[in-house]
Structure 1
């Protein structure tokens, strides 16, 4: 949905993280990274019973990368009804990883309009997620509107025109 909003000159095609080398990961000055949250708040990967490697293994592969000076926007997918205590928790793991490597993170998203009990992806003030939170299971009807608003929020930081 994100890529469809932009031409090939503005944005490259999305790539699954298990198909990206460290060199490719570090190539771009601006990144939009997304992840679902699995089970009890895990990033997807073999440890979360996924059939192939994903973010869990990528974080190990990219442990030594330096992302200083890069601008990153994050989005996460979760189920706030089925997993109200872990809603988009995986987003926090991804956030912590990229911040520790020197990135500037943009695109914090308000927690209003969601019905969950706890999320590690919420900031200290409990007013925003560290990135866009999407719930395709329970609020799919709000995804397009949230995505448009989030893209407008990050556009200036990415020098994008919408």
Structure 2
């Protein structure tokens, strides 16, 4: 199975997470600034990652390149999402960016995989929460970095099992 991880990052936090996820899934890794429409289309599983900036905004590179995602044919494509945010400082918009990406890819006909529990988080609102769970992997490197390794490993394991990936998940 062909897996592609596409991420945006300014401070390097989401890039570091993306590298760990790509290694665990044995996936191709691309910064959104280098991604082409075909990169979104030519994989069996597409993994998208973004930090949330400001009060609920997509990261700048994602904002600048969102047309590339919007131009991709994603009907039936399996898509997993991950995001970083700060649930204490931005409690009203925690990991909103993956909620924004979720809406775009669902509108394009994608099938979302890799939902995660909201248990263990302390925030007020999130565009990434749907039906009592996150649309993907939510990480808080500011307030809960001690939980990141376990959360990544569990999410990779979930994706490997649900996608029947012919790989052994590596340590995240």
TM-score (norm 1): 0.85
In structure 1, C-alpha distance between the alignment counterparts of 2:145 and 2:69, rounded to whole Å: 32
Which 5+ residue runs of structure 1 have no aligned equivalent? 46-53
Q: Based on CA coordinates, which of the two structures has the bigger radius of gyration?
A: 1
Cα deviations across residues 48-96 of structure 1 (Å, max 9, x unaligned)?
xxxxxx1112222332321112111111100001111110011111000
Q: Of 10, 27, 47, which aligns to 1:11? A: 27
Quick check: 1:22 aligned with 2:37? yes
Aligned partners of 2:37 and 2:71 also within 8 Å: no
More displaced stretch, 146-155 vs 83-92:
146-155
Which of the two has greater strand per residue? 2
The residue aligned with 1:82 is: 89
In structure 1, the partner of 2:13 is none
Report the Cα distance in structure 2 between the residues aligned to 1:107 and 1:33, rounded to whole angstroms. Answer: 11
Aligned residues: 148
* 8 A Cα contact 1:29 1:69, kept in partner: no
Three-state SS of the structure 2 residue aligned to 1:23 is: helix
TM-score, normalised relative to structure 2: 0.81
Shift of 1:18: 1.2
1:4-153 matches, within 5 Å, as: 4-6=23-25, 10-12=26-28, 14-45=29-60, 54-123=61-130, 125=131, 127-153=132-158
CA contact (8 A) 2:106 2:112 kept: yes
In structure 2, runs of 5+ residues without a counterpart are 1-19
Q: Distance in 2 between matches of 1:62 and 1:130?
A: 18
Which stretches of structure 1, 4 residues or more, deviate above 4 A after TM superposition? none
